Amino acid sequence: MEYRSPLAKSCWLLLLLLLLPSHNHQGQVLRQIPPTQGIQEPPAVHLSNGPGQEPVSIMTFNLTKITKSSSFFEFRTWDPEGVIFYGDTNPKDDWFVLALRDGRPEIQLYNQWAQLTVGAGPRLDDGRWHQVEVKSLDDSVLLAVDGEQVLRLRQVSGPLTEKSQPIMRIALGGLLFPASDLRLPLVPALDACLRRDNWLDQQAQISASAPTSLRSCAIESQPGIFFPSGTCAEFSLQDLPQPHVEPWTFSLDLGLQLAAGSGHLLALGTPENPSWLSLHLQDQKVVLFYGSGPGLDLPLVLGLPLQLKLDESRVLLSHGPKKIIAQPPMGLDSLLNLWVHPQGRLFLGTLPGETSSASFGLDGLWAQDQRLDLDRALSRSQDIWTHSCPQHLGNGSNTTH
């Protein structure tokens, strides 16, 4: 009779446990994305095509050949709102959306069995890679995050092979119908990266468009906002938090982390006259211009807060402990009238018609102490990073991908 030592038995028991499928607390097997060490992985795909709702890639599947009804991927973002993927067999009466709202997963679906919007699970806008799986099982849709089932919707679906339309489309990072057709509106654009993805049944896939994203996910990034040279964003002053009334005051705060080149940082004005008051980046200085007067400058020190504050009689620019004041003898009445002008604007970055070499990164942008979201801008360049910023300039961070 063969004798095995206690140590050998322990090793066999450990091996047996490792080979068993993992289960969650509800007893359901959850997919583990296998490691790919030593295998050349496709690069991660950035999910944004700019400020609109155009997806970066579209795949089509023949549902009559489907043998697997689940999709999984890894996902990373600092953006709290936007579309991860959209799927449909008919955009009018059979569609599905997985998105983020307030940083948490949200499912919207519309079909003959159910029409609903539901959010669940942890916040995913922490800049870490998260594993996500969406699965259709009998009449249910399951959502798992990092190996844990966070949502099960029952009586909301039927077998994929029994759909009235045999072709399914899956769109990454966008929608295939107007955003206004969503059950609960959101901003579709999502500053995020996706990798190690597997969609439904590869043998049933008919076509897949090449990704058209504008960014590379290979650049080391951090939370923030980044304006590559030549980019701009525009806010209506009427859409911003409004000035205090008595006494009249308005403030803008920028957390300037990166800067290079020369050109406009921001301006207040109208589309016809965009530079009533402006801040420039120039020779490692921040320069304040008001009207036709000479520029006033402060040495640029990255990492120190930059604040522009207006009241009824003066403009105050603070950069860390240093300050400069512009106090026109005729007061600021013409500038303050911008807030009642229907075309009053806050411009960020390059002004319309201007050539600029300035690029800069912010860890935040605030008006009246309220954070501004570039996705809510009246308009913006498609190359702006709305919720991330390179850790340092160079290595392609100042160009599109």
Which residues, at least 6 apart from 58, have a Cβ–Cβ distance to it below 8 Å? 169, 170, 171, 172, 176, 208, 209
Q: What's the rounded Cα separation, in Å, for the pair 371 and 377?
A: 12
Q: What are phi and psi of 375, to 5 degrees?
A: -70, -15
pLDDT tens track for 306-341: 999 999 889 999 999 999 998 876 677 888 899 999
Q: What are phi and psi of 6, to 5 degrees?
A: -55, -35
Instruction: Name the nearest CA neighbour of 265 among 313, 322, 222, 307.
Output: 307
Q: What's the rounded Cα separation, in Å, for the pair 367 and 356?
A: 24
Q: What is the reported pLDDT for 9? A: 38
Amino acid identity at 187 = V
Q: What is the dihedral of CA 390, 392, 398, 400, to 10 degrees?
A: -40
Which residue carries 């990704």 as its tokens?
211
Instruction: Name the nearest CA neighbour of 188 among 53, 86, 80, 98.
Output: 53
Averaged confidence pLDDT in the chain: 87
Q: What's the rounded Cα separation, in Å, for the pair 223 and 243?
A: 28
Residue 197 has pLDDT above 90, yes or no: yes
Residue 72 CB neighbours (<10 A): 18
What pTM, to 2 d.p., does this model score? 0.84
CA distances from 240 to 113, 181, 261, 384 (A): 42, 26, 28, 20
pLDDT tens track for 13-46: 333 333 333 344 343 444 555 554 556 788 999 9
CA distances from 319 to 143, 299, 300, 370 (A): 47, 8, 8, 19
DSSP secondary structure letter of residue 393:
S
Q: How many residues are there in the chain?
A: 401
Task: Point out which residues pair with 240 in neighbouring strands.
Answer: none
